[in-house]
Structure 1
Amino acid sequence: MRTAVIRRTLAATGVLALVGGCTAQAVGPGGSGTHSSPPVAPSAPSASGPATAPGDAKPSGPARPSAPSGPSGASGPSRAPAAPAPRTLFTPGDEGKQVRELQARLRQVAWLFDGPTGTYGASTTDAVRGFQGKRGLPRTGTTDTVTWQRLLNMTHEPTRDELYASGGQPAAKPDPRCLTGRVLCISKTSRTVSWMVDGKRLMTTDVRFGSQYTPTREGVFHVYWKSRHHVSTIYHTPMPYAMFFSGGQAVHYSSDFAARGYSGASHGCVNVRDEGKIASLFAQVRDGDKVVIYW
């Protein structure tokens, strides 16, 4: 009986060992024992490649930017796009308002003394060539985008008087008093005289007026005397093709106007510098025809 008690005691002790021991082994199938910790599963391979072996790991750092690729895909330094080649704007023989502006700007920087005429002639070509050479540009004599931009930077927007310093303005809108009958329609704004018959403009030419001290009168007048070879009795100067309209004031040819342009002035008369046109006017205008002078 004592032996039975001892056996029961040992059996109880074994059971207690299995329940509370920290190194206890679990009984597996077939009575064989395995470690109580679950086996560690192998880690999954990295998406970027096989796992790095211990000791092969390299210190991490910022990623190096990839070199830019060239046109063919090869890597190399990037290049800025090339500047566009200068484009030609004006060439000798061109005409128009833009050529007149070019000439006015060249006059502002003292490279052109004639005109403006609105025609790209020899003097304009020489002026452009000189302007280009002074600034290290190719001396082509033609105006390209580089030459034009350099000139714009050095000048201001030309005024109307600068654009037409030598005349050539389009005739101003006729005064309503010019629209009936036979009229010498004279605008101080455009500095022109137009020969008009019943509202139709037949001829236009440049004119020059008196100075502030000897102003040309304004208003409506009539031709009262024509004198083909007239000489001023006050100033003793020739006044060919004179058509008098108010006191001693007349429309007539002026060689001084033809030579000096608007740098001079008359003593109150209306000067014409185109001798061919004033001769034609003199032949057509009659005594009694109307003269209208207005701004």
Structure 2
Amino acid sequence: MEHIRRRGAAAAGITALVVPLTMALGGATPAMAAGCTTSTGPYQKQAERFLGRTADGKQSAADCAAIRSFQSTHGITPAIGYAGPVTWGVMDLMNQQKAAGKNPDKAGKCPVNKGRIACVDLTRQLSWIQDGRKLVFGPVPVRTGRDGHETRTGLKKIYWRDKNHVSSLYNVSMPYSQFFDGGEAFHSVGLSMWNPPGSHGCVNMTGTNAATYWSLLKKGDDVYVYGRKPGT
């Protein structure tokens, strides 16, 4: 979360960029790497299936290397190749995001009577922009507030924008910041969107997606946040 100090910048031009949801999956090596566990985790079979490996539920050197690579990519610690609940939770979330396809508001939970609106589904950690029932951009994976710093739900409005914002509270860069609730904002971060445990309340995005949100939204546009982030 962030304290407000300056007035926002004017809206940028609209683009039509659409970025598909992707998953970075780790590869495997033939031998057990140093620090790679031989233990079979409780979600071994699910992790193997997710990574496209033989789902026999038995830990091998190659399985461990693939799981460990996945953990390292997304900042899951300890990255030792153990298929525990945190690792499977991230994989399961990715499966849910992929299942959303190009119809993220199939359940009709984001308002369709507001015109252009940015929707944030905390449960699936997804965001998109729609205009009525028309999908304008997304859905894209996001990283919202961790336990104790949950992103607040409800209908809000973008009230301040700062393309080159720096947090006065955490002294970190927050590019493409668009504030919609106190110190909570859309902004880019240089982390995996599946990096646990989450933000301090903001809706984190990749640089490309945050730049597109910046170009498509303006001060006064509606934002609707609903659901509950896993683990909060």
Match for 2:154: what amino acid? G
Task: Give the conservation status (yes or no) of the 8 Å contact 1:117–1:168.
Answer: no
**Alpha-carbon deviation of 1:163?**
3.1
1:275 aligns with 2:185: no
| Residue in 1 that maps onto 2:185 | 250
| Residue in 1 that maps onto 2:80 | none
After superposition, where does 1:280-291 map in structure 2 within 5 Å?
280-291=212-223
Identity across the alignment (%): 24
After superposition, where does 1:1-295 map in structure 2 within 5 Å?
117=23, 123-124=26-27, 126-127=28-29, 129-130=30-31, 148=54, 151-153=56-58, 161-164=90-93, 169-171=98-100, 172-173=104-105, 175-180=108-113, 181-203=115-137, 204-255=139-190, 257-258=191-192, 261-272=194-205, 274-295=206-227
* Whole-Å separation in 2 of the counterparts to 1:239 and 1:163: 28
Higher RCO (CA < 8 A, seq sep 6+): 2
| Residue in 2 that maps onto 1:75 | none
Q: Structure 1's 170 and 292: CA in aligned 2 closer, same or farther, altered over 3 A?
A: farther
* Whole-Å separation in 2 of the counterparts to 1:252 and 1:156: 30
* Whole-Å separation in 1 of the counterparts to 2:133 and 2:94: 28
Could you tell me the TM-score, scaled by structure 2's length?
A: 0.58
Q: Structure 1's 188 and 156: CA in aligned 2 closer, same or farther, altered over 3 A?
A: same
Match for 1:194: what amino acid? W
**Unaligned segments of structure 2, at least 5 residues:** 1-21, 33-37, 39-48, 60-82, 228-232
* Whole-Å separation in 2 of the counterparts to 1:281 and 1:227: 13
* Whole-Å separation in 2 of the counterparts to 1:263 and 1:167: 17
* Whole-Å separation in 1 of the counterparts to 2:121 and 2:159: 20
Task: Give the conservation status (yes or no) of the 8 Å contact 1:166–1:261.
Answer: no
Task: Give the conservation status (yes or no) of the 8 Å contact 2:161–2:177.
Answer: yes
Task: Give the conservation status (yes or no) of the 8 Å contact 2:151–2:202.
Answer: yes
* Whole-Å separation in 2 of the counterparts to 1:267 and 1:148: 38
Task: Give the conservation status (yes or no) of the 8 Å contact 2:90–2:194.
Answer: no
Q: Deviations over 1:136-190 (max 9, x none)?
A: xxxxxxx9xxx725x3355799955433469954444354343231111110111
**Unaligned segments of structure 1, at least 5 residues:** 1-115, 135-142
Secondary structure at 1:176's aligned position in 2? coil
Q: Structure 1's 268 and 118: CA in aligned 2 closer, same or farther, altered over 3 A?
A: closer
Q: Structure 1's 170 and 191: CA in aligned 2 closer, same or farther, altered over 3 A?
A: farther
Could you tell me the TM-score, scaled by structure 1's length?
A: 0.46
- Paired positions, count: 158
* Whole-Å separation in 2 of the counterparts to 1:156 and 1:262: 15
> What stretches of structure 1 move > 6 A for 4+ residues in a row?
155-158
Match for 2:125: what amino acid? R
The structure that is helix-richer by fraction is: 1
Instruction: Please tell me the root mean square deviation across aligned C-alpha atoms, in Å.
Output: 3.3
